[in-house]
Amino acid sequence: MQRALTLIDWLIAHQDQCWQFLSRDTNAKQMKPLEKAIAEIIVEHADDIASQGGYITNADLLKAIHSRLGFSNVSSEQLGKAATSLGLGTDKKHAERVRIVTTELIEKFRDLVQPVRPVQENHQASPQEGIIIDEGLKELMNDPVMRADLEESYWEFCSGF
């Protein structure tokens, strides 16, 4: 029962994250580590960016990237390419290059970098939880489309071991 609960937690978290990722953009793609770091930094500094009029300087972004990734091998050209691929526009303010960050982009990044909730390893299921999950699985298994999706996800999950 413990392993079934762990599997269900994983399936639910995986499905939620996939739907959030795909619902935002029809041209969905997986982010590279540098792009993900940029998106995370923008989400973390959203209030500061909003107070500056929707701008973040390339220098501030590069400094945050270096501290987040733990090394300074990222060049400003690499940062520029990654930021442009995420849809961040460029401008000049007070002789500094800045990136334009709209509220729509912040919301998109917030959805993309939202962490998958962790699976509780030592979760002790109560009998009531088992009944609810069993009933939920029965409903899912009666739907042929959901059953096929669950079986496919399960086998993908199992093939990773």
pLDDT tens readout for residues 46-77 = 998 988 889 998 889 989 888 887 777 888 88
Verify that 15 and 67 share a domain, yes or no.
Answer: no
Domain containing 134 equals: 2-25+119-159
What is the strand order of the sheet 96-100 is part of?
A: 55-57, 96-100, 89-93
Instruction: For 45, list phi and psi in degrees, rounded to 5.
Output: -105, 25
Query: What's the CA gap between 131 and 135, in Å, rounded?
Result: 6
Verify that 21 and 37 share a domain, yes or no.
Answer: no
| Tokens found for residue 87 | 């849809």
Verify that 42 and 104 share a domain, yes or no.
Answer: yes
Verify that 75 and 40 share a domain, yes or no.
Answer: yes
The domain tally of the chain equals: 2
Query: What's the CA gap between 114 and 118, in Å, rounded?
Result: 12
Q: Is the pTM of this model over 0.85?
A: no
80-107 pLDDT, tens digit each: 898 898 888 888 888 888 899 998 888 8
Collapsed DSSP state (helix, strand, coil) of residue 46: helix
Residue among 48, 21, 51, 23 nearest 36 (CA): 21
Rg of the chain over all Cα atoms, to the nearest angstrom: 21
Q: Are strands 89-93 and 55-57 parallel, antiparallel or unpaired?
A: unpaired
Verify that 39 and 94 share a domain, yes or no.
Answer: yes
